[in-house]
Amino acid sequence: MESQRAKQISVLTINTVSFTACFAVWVMFSIIGIPIRTELGLSQTQFGLLAAMPILTGSLIRLPLGMLTDRFGGRPVFMALMLSTILPIYLISHATQYWHMLVLGLFVGVAGGSFSVGIAYTARWFDKKHQGFAMGIFGAGNAGAAVTKFVAPSIVVAWGWQAVPQVYAAMMTVVAVLFWLFSHSDPKHKVGAHVTMREQLLALKDPAVWKYCQYYSLVFGGYVGVSLWMTKYYMSEYQHDIQTAALLAAIFVLPSGVIRALGGWLSDRFGAHTVTWWVMWVSLICLFFMAYPQTELVIRTVDGHPVMMHLGVNEWVFTALLFVVGIAWGFGKASVFKYISDEYPHNIGTISGIVGLVGGLGGFFLPIMFGALLDWTGVNSTAFMLLFGVTLVSLMWMQYSGERQKDRDIRKHKKVLAADTLE
């Protein structure tokens, strides 16, 4: 019989692998949507809607999936979720019209709900002292977006975009089998049968939950939205082909996913508020420069001769700033869920479902808004102007929420417990 420690490691490992596969599927249209846009003659806004359609379902389903995880446990819910996506993924390869893509995208989007299942399932296998780090490791499955950036363009070039959903359907089948073989259940992790759905949903009345939703709509919703948009952005702004553009976009996507484990460790050590506070400031500064459009300025001198000046970040500075934002949001994704595990230990599935839902909706609406702003203004950097504004709102909310003192109290309590243990 496996020890408890072995079960913890097995569950954490297979959860992370499964979430990585689900996330890769969830953002699939960020790559295959580019040749589909050309093939069907779609506008920028239509492309944004196509890329975001799976994000809608994956966001809306997070709350009910989180509640089901609290009630029935993570193993059966996660398994059913993965199995339900296999056929829709495969059918995308046979779709020929725009509405086909949109409808199938809704069904494929169920894969995005895996986060609220896996985060609660993972957290309950670890004590509070190690929950932040464990959830951070699980959350590193966001790097599934980088898997798509690396793998899907090569498949598109070699065999056409239709081969991508076929490969992904096969991958999801294999991962589902491995999940069932290496995952475990513990009846103690379920909430009591006496807890009703109405009692679970009372969390919606808590203003702190909505505050965390706002933060997550930036650090996760922004991550998803930018992940979906960046390949096309590099092609449009810097005239790269799809493979080079996807590779450059992965400079943002991969570190932001992988670094989440370190963000969880930092949140355990320094507190959720401290980490989130620095995440917001770093994001605000970087986005300020990224939002500045490429500008040609004519200055007339005293002798009447015009002087031409170019303002705007070049491709390499932009990519460096994008990398820093990705790292910051990776920390932020972990620190927001550290808030939740600290404050809602007995309702983590439901709360993570609510926060994940709103964060995912950020990932749904942002690409559509990016496309609409681009159609309206013709300026690529409007996407980052929007993100700058969202970050500013989050930072102002943090400033006046009293969270800094709460973090200090938590750290003080930990020191007292550590001192009592030594005695």
Give the three-state DSSP class for 401. Answer: coil
Considering only CA atoms, give the Rg of the chain: 22
Written as one string, the DSSP assignment of 138-165 is HHGGGGHHHHHHHHHHHHHHHH-TTHHH
Contact call for residues 169 and 90 (beta carbons, < 8 A): yes
Contact call for residues 138 and 19 (beta carbons, < 8 A): yes
Helices (DSSP H) in 183-304: which residue ranges? 197-201, 207-219, 221-238, 242-258, 260-270, 272-290
Helices (DSSP H) in 296-347: which residue ranges? 315-343
CA-nearest of 117, 110, 31 to 73 is 117
Full pLDDT tens readout for the chain, 423 residues: 567 778 888 889 999 999 999 989 988 998 899 899 989 998 888 988 998 899 888 888 887 887 788 778 888 999 999 999 999 999 999 998 999 999 999 999 999 888 888 888 888 888 777 777 787 788 778 778 788 888 999 999 899 999 999 999 999 999 999 999 988 876 665 655 545 556 656 666 777 788 888 888 889 889 888 888 888 889 888 888 888 888 888 888 888 777 877 887 888 888 888 888 999 999 999 999 999 888 888 888 877 778 887 777 888 999 999 999 999 998 988 888 788 877 777 677 678 778 878 888 888 888 889 988 988 988 888 999 999 998 998 888 887 766 555 555 554 545 444 444 444
223: Cβ contacts below 8 Å, ≥ 6 apart:
142, 145, 256, 326, 329, 330, 333, 363
- Domains of the chain: which residue ranges? 4-191+201-422
pTM of the model: 0.74
CA-nearest of 358, 344, 338, 334 to 138 is 334
Contact call for residues 98 and 2 (beta carbons, < 8 A): no
Written as one string, the DSSP assignment of 349-385 is HHHHHHHHHHHHHHHHHHHHHHHHHHHHH--TTHHHH
The string of pLDDT tens digits covering residues 242-273 is 888 888 888 888 887 778 778 878 888 888 88
300 DSSP β-pair partners: 306
Phi, psi of 400, rounded to the nearest 5 degrees: -110, 20
- Positive or negative, the CA dihedral 56, 59, 64, 65 is positive
The span from the CA of 305 to the CA of 79, in Å, is 70
Q: What amino acid is encoded at 27 in this protein?
A: V
CA-nearest of 16, 382, 409, 384 to 222 is 384
Domain 4-191+201-422: assigned CATH number = 1.20.1250.20
As given in the structure block, the two tokens for residue 328 are: 């910051």
